[in-house]
């Protein structure tokens, strides 16, 4: 493969020689979500041990589309700029029906944001950067440590871990399952997903070739090179291109996986033979989640909690938003500053977020892969009309790309710009010192614009000089405003003016929310 896989060293864990002291947090799975979770907790001053059954980064590019919000989260974790520098930045998507463009979108039409709308970057690079960062922070990463049993108790859990040198027991107050779509932990707890399994399969292929495709997302319905099906082309770094081809349910995945079947298909897409096959995979569309993400001392984060069909980039990006929503809450519980029941807020917000992702990806799947009968009738009618009249173009659904959800908070609000309402991610903007988002997060921030920031115990104050971007994103017609921003950079409450007591009360409510 194009990427040079460097195995991480397995080190015999201390638990093999005698019981280890109970850990505060054990994270199962060192994928992007598990690693991000460990770094997020470390940034909050909470140590975690990370257990992974493997000893390399992701085999294959897998998650490649990182959203603006994910890049902002990665930036807070210390790997955002690296990811943008290496990645392919894009914001325009084009959708074709046969040879004709029928719809396009621009995901970030305005300037004044540190992070672009999307960056394409292979999952193995993101993991590589996160591992480097985790090591720099001294996080205990244990490779070839496979969790084979989870025993949840009243106030902790006991894990049985297998290593090349035998097995040991590890106790932790909290266990975070970041072990992916097939989550063994989910099985060990006897939990199952609820939701839809679509009868559709796609072939993913990464190819390496010298080409001059623009940095855009191209999606085809019924292209001439793949009759009656759908296809997607995405550019990645290192001259790697991702091609997704719809296979239909009647095909045999084992047969379709063979290079002699794949290569001729790719030749038809790119129009020549000058490429090498780097990695392939076949996936089935699913839109399912756990009913709840908090199960006593065991917390589910990322694909272990919810899986969506692709084409909305809602898997990895949804997982990072889980990390965002859990980190500050769990850290406060571990440090004894808050009661464990505040984790219900994580469950509620991320079930809400997962449902939004599931809704969008189910709709996209229905459009891309309609059932015979009326679903196909209307899908084809939309495509037929889209080439001739404007109104049908927004109905063409080749995936609605991940945007952070706006949590339904009940909180003080005022007549200020909608984009910065309570529950939304605080919009980025340039400030004198760099970027606003780099100055938010980690703890509660009282952001005062055109006013002095009242002192509030437990919150940091920030009063940047108002510029045009801050005016339009935070003030609108108002001359001044006070915003309370959560540690995960979500707007908790806002006022035209507020006393320290009002802000403190809103902060108290936000902990409980």
Return residues touching another protein (CB under 8 A). Answer: 377-378, 380-382, 384-385, 389, 391-392, 395
Which is nearer to another protein, 381 or 410 (by Cβ)? 381
Which is nearer to another protein, 33 or 382 (by Cβ)? 382
Q: Could you tell me the smallest distance in angstroms from the CB atom of residue 383 to another protein?
A: 10
Which is nearer to another protein, 26 or 383 (by Cβ)? 383
Which is nearer to another protein, 173 or 380 (by Cβ)? 380
Place of tokens 């794949």: 262
* Cα dihedral value 123, 127, 133, 138, nearest 10: 160
Compute the distance between CA of residue 431 and CA of residue 129 in angstroms, rounded to an integer. 27
Q: Could you tell me the smallest distance in angstroms from the CB atom of residue 251 to another protein?
A: 25
Compute the distance between CA of residue 37 and CA of residue 33 in angstroms, rounded to an integer. 6
Which is nearer to another protein, 378 or 435 (by Cβ)? 378
Q: Residue 18: left (phi > 0), alpha (psi -120 to 50), or beta?
A: left
Buried b or exposed e, range 73-83, using 16+ CB within 10 angstroms: bbbbbbbbebb
Q: Could you tell me the smallest distance in angstroms from the CB atom of residue 374 to another protein?
A: 8
Which is nearer to another protein, 18 or 228 (by Cβ)? 228
Among residues 201, 199, 203, which one has the least CA distance to residue 269?
203
**Widest Cα–Cα separation across the chain:** 73
Among residues 473, 430, 110, which one has the least CA distance to residue 481?
473
Q: Could you tell me the smallest distance in angstroms from the CB atom of residue 209 to another protein?
A: 39
Is residue 493 within 8 Å of 326, Cβ to Cβ? no
Which is nearer to another protein, 282 or 385 (by Cβ)? 385
Calculate the CA 353 to chain-centre distance.
11
Which is nearer to another protein, 395 or 414 (by Cβ)? 395
Q: Could you tell me the smallest distance in angstroms from the CB atom of residue 311 to another protein?
A: 22
Backbone φ and ψ of 50, nearest 5° = -110, 125
Is residue 17 within 8 Å of 164, Cβ to Cβ? no
Q: Could you tell me the smallest distance in angstroms from the CB atom of residue 366 to another protein?
A: 15
Is residue 287 within 8 Å of 362, Cβ to Cβ? yes
Among residues 275, 273, 224, 220, which one has the least CA distance to residue 245?
220
Q: Could you tell me the smallest distance in angstroms from the CB atom of residue 384 to another protein?
A: 6
Which is nearer to another protein, 267 or 380 (by Cβ)? 380
What is the residue-wise DSSP string for 291-337? Answer: S-SEETTEEE-GGGTEE--SSS--SHHHHHHHHHHHHHHHHHHHTTS
Which is nearer to another protein, 94 or 393 (by Cβ)? 393
Q: Could you tell me the smallest distance in angstroms from the CB atom of residue 100 to another protein?
A: 17
Q: Could you tell me the smallest distance in angstroms from the CB atom of residue 371 to another protein?
A: 15
What angle, rounded to 10 degrees, do the helices at 32-43 and 123-136 form?
30
Q: Give the helix/strand (H/E) hosting 378.
A: helix 374-386
Q: What angle do CA 66, 69, 72 make, to 5 degrees?
A: 95
Buried b or exposed e, range 131-147, using 16+ CB within 10 angstroms: bebbeeeebbbbbbbbb
Rg of the chain over Cα atoms, rounded to whole angstroms, equals 24
Q: Could you tell me the smallest distance in angstroms from the CB atom of residue 379 to another protein?
A: 9
Which is nearer to another protein, 161 or 383 (by Cβ)? 383
Q: Could you tell me the smallest distance in angstroms from the CB atom of residue 380 to another protein?
A: 7
């Amino acid at each position: 493969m194009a990427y040079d896989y460097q195995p991480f060293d397995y080190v015999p864990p201390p638990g093999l020689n005698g019981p280890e002291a109970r850990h505060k947090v054990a994270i199962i799975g060192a994928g992007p979500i598990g690693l991000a979770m460990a770094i997020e907790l470390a940034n909050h001053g909470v140590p975690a041990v990370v257990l992974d059954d493997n000893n390399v980064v992701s085999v294959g590019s897998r998650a490649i589309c990182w959203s603006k919000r994910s890049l902002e989260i990665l930036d807070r974790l210390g790997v955002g700029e690296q990811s943008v520098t290496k990645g392919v930045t894009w914001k325009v998507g084009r959708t074709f029906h046969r040879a004709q463009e029928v719809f396009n979108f621009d995901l970030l039409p305005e300037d004044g944001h540190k992070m672009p709308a999307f960056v394409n970057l292979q999952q193995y690079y993101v993991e590589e950067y996160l591992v480097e960062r985790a090591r720099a922070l001294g996080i205990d990463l244990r490779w070839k440590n496979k969790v084979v049993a989870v025993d949840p108790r009243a106030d902790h859990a006991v894990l049985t871990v297998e290593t090349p040198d035998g097995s040991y027991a590890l106790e932790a107050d909290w266990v975070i399952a970041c072990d992916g779509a097939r989550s063994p932990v989910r099985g060990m707890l006897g939990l199952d997903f609820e939701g839809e399994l679509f009868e559709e399969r796609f072939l993913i292929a990464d190819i390496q070739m010298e080409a001059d495709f623009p940095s855009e997302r191209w999606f085809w319905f019924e292209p001439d090179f793949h009759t009656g099906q759908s296809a997607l082309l995405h550019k990645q770094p290192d001259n790697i291109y991702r091609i997704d081809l719809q296979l239909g349910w009647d095909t045999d995945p084992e047969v379709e996986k063979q290079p002699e079947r794949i290569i001729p298909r790719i030749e038809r897409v790119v129009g020549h033979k000058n490429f090498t096959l780097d990695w392939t995979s076949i996936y089935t569309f699913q839109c399912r989640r756990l009913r709840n993400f908090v199960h006593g001392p065991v917390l589910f984060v990322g694909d272990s909690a919810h899986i969506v069909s692709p084409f909305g980039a809602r898997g990895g990006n949804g997982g990072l938003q889980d990390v965002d929503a859990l980190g500050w809450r769990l850290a406060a519980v571990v440090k004894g500053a808050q009661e464990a029941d505040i984790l219900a807020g994580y469950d509620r917000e991320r079930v809400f977020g997962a449902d939004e992702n599931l809704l969008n990806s189910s709709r996209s799947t229905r459009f891309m892969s309609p059932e015979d009968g009326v679903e196909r009738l209307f899908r084809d009618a939309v495509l037929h009309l889209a080439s001739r009249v404007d109104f049908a173009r927004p109905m063409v659904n080749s995936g609605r790309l991940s945007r952070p959800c706006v949590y339904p908070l009940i909180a003080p609000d005022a007549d200020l710009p909608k984009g910065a309402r309570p529950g939304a991610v605080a919009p980025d903007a340039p400030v004198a010192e760099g970027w606003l988002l780099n100055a938010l997060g980690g703890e509660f921030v009282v952001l005062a614009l055109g006013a002095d920031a009242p002192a509030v115990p437990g919150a940091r104050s920030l009063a940047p000089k108002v510029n045009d971007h801050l005016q339009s994103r935070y003030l609108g017609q108002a001359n001044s405003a006070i915003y309370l921003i959560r540690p995960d950079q979500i707007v908790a409450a806002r006022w035209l003016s507020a006393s320290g007591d009002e802000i403190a009360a809103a902060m108290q409510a936000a902990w409980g929310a």
